[in-house]
Amino acid sequence: MCVFNGLEDTRACLESLRATTEPFRLVVMDNGSTDGTPEFFERFPYPYPLTFARSPANDGVIAALNRAWRLADTEVLCFLHNDTELLDPAWLSRLLRALAEPGAGLAGFYGAKRLRADGRAVGRTIVHSLAPAPTVRAPWEDVAFVDSVCMCLPRDLVEAMGGFDEGYGFYHGHDRDISLAVLERGRRCLVVHAPFRHHGGGTRTRDFTRDPARQRADLAMRDAALVRFTQKWHHRLPCDVRSARQRVGDWFRTKLA
């Protein structure tokens, strides 16, 4: 988990982790928070093991995630946004069961079955576990990419891929990139049915509506990440994990909806 301020969201996330049925260790990389987050973690009130590290400045989420996973000592790595609340105590068990599926390499809570040639997700193919109305069919569905709100992968696979590509810059693009890197290795990406809430992080454009300058900067970063993504993965784009029969069925369901 990477954090930068947002202590209220972080508290809610950590509180929701209390009920998790699967043992886990938490690694938190703080990117220079100034809202009391470091002091909160110094007196960490939760029962699960914690490794806490801190960078002096908010230099980027992708680089921070790479520093964080290298501090972990587990065989499976799960990257989780600090503005999520896990509503199913078995959320981690469900992710691990999905990873045990033949050929599985990446599991999460939100993704899309098809990416266009420009790297954007096709909206009607998005599946997710967002409460109160998850759309993914239980127990999981294959997708072309898994969103960074939650990404669970075997450690040896992350090591083989070299972690996240920091060439994308501050934040955007790393989830699509690592998803296609998983597919490139002949592995599967899955979205799991495990309901959760997402409060929306400070790197998201919709949260910058009161600051036009930050909004423009975020949109520019998004556009630059998409350009880099399409250049790097042009040989795999467009990408659709559905069979021809599934595509036809989805098309008819969309028309009849």
Q: In this structure, are strands 2-3 and 26-31 parallel, antiparallel, or unpaired?
A: parallel
What's the pLDDT score for residue 218?
82
Domain ranges of the chain: 2-256
Tokens for 24, please give them: 């886990």
The model's pTM: 0.91
CA diameter of the chain: 55
Q: Please state, in angstroms and rounded to a whole number, the distance separating the CA atoms of residues 191 and 129.
A: 8
What's the pLDDT score for residue 210?
61
pLDDT in tens, the chain (257 residues): 999 999 999 999 999 999 999 999 999 999 999 999 999 999 999 999 999 999 887 878 999 999 999 999 999 999 999 999 999 999 999 999 999 999 999 999 999 999 999 999 999 999 999 999 999 999 999 999 999 999 999 999 999 999 999 999 988 999 999 999 999 999 999 999 999 999 875 434 344 446 778 778 888 889 999 999 999 999 999 999 998 888 887 777 766 66
Q: Tell me which CATH code domain 2-256 carries.
A: 3.90.550.10
Q: Please state, in angstroms and rounded to a whole number, the distance separating the CA atoms of residues 116 and 126.
A: 13
Neighbouring residues of 44: CB distance < 8 A, sequence distance ≥ 6:
50, 52
Centroid of chain to Cα 61 = 12
What's the pLDDT score for residue 201?
52
Cβ count near 23 (within 10 Å) = 9
Q: Please state, in angstroms and rounded to a whole number, the distance separating the CA atoms of residues 188 and 107.
A: 9
